[in-house]
Amino acid sequence: MVKAVCIIGYSGSGKTTLIEKLIPLLKKRGYRIGTIKHSRHDISNDKPGKDSYRHKSAGAEAVILAGPHRINLVKEMEDPALSDLLPFLDDMDLVLIEGFKHSPYPKILVIPEAASTIETVKFTGLTAIVGPPLEGSDLPCFDRDHIDKLAEFIEKQFLKATPLTLAGDYHWRADNQD
């Protein structure tokens, strides 16, 4: 099973920037990191006139463009769930997911720097906060200027932990808890 953590928060809260900072820190620790970015907009990275575009236009359900160092997959999927996407990254040690806030995977909430108050919504699997602490929350809180501490938390809680599935929700048990 692929280990995955969702980075969630309002638009403009710093989710992408956080992921950009986490990737090199986790790679430096020796982990292979993949990412999935959720978009509410239709996407296409194929170009009219190119052979792969012509294959798709002719009716191919999926097209893989394979180059010497990377592949590009174009596949029609109606509102894909994470369970549809994660198998594409099953050779990664961890997948950082931007969005998918209602998925059953563990979540890290990014609070905007300028937020004076934030609507507290109960998300299944919320494990940590990046930004100012939420009133009444006992979740670990990390400063966005000290992401190395968050990388350490992710390593301990998710990369060196064993996943448990309880009633369709993912919970994590650290193998090295004291």
- How high is the pLDDT of residue 169? 46
Query: Could you read off the pLDDT of 32-62 as tens digits, one per residue?
Result: 999 998 876 666 666 787 777 788 888 888 8
- How high is the pLDDT of residue 156? 92
- How high is the pLDDT of residue 178? 35
Q: What pairing do the DSSP bridges indicate for beta strands 161-166 and 141-142?
A: unpaired
Domains annotated for the chain, with CATH where assigned, are 4-41+80-174 (3.40.50.300)
pTM of the model: 0.81
Q: Report the half-sphere exposure of 157 (CA within 13 A, side-chain side).
A: 19
- How high is the pLDDT of residue 52? 78
Residue segments in the chain with a per-residue pLDDT below the cut of 50 = 116, 165-178
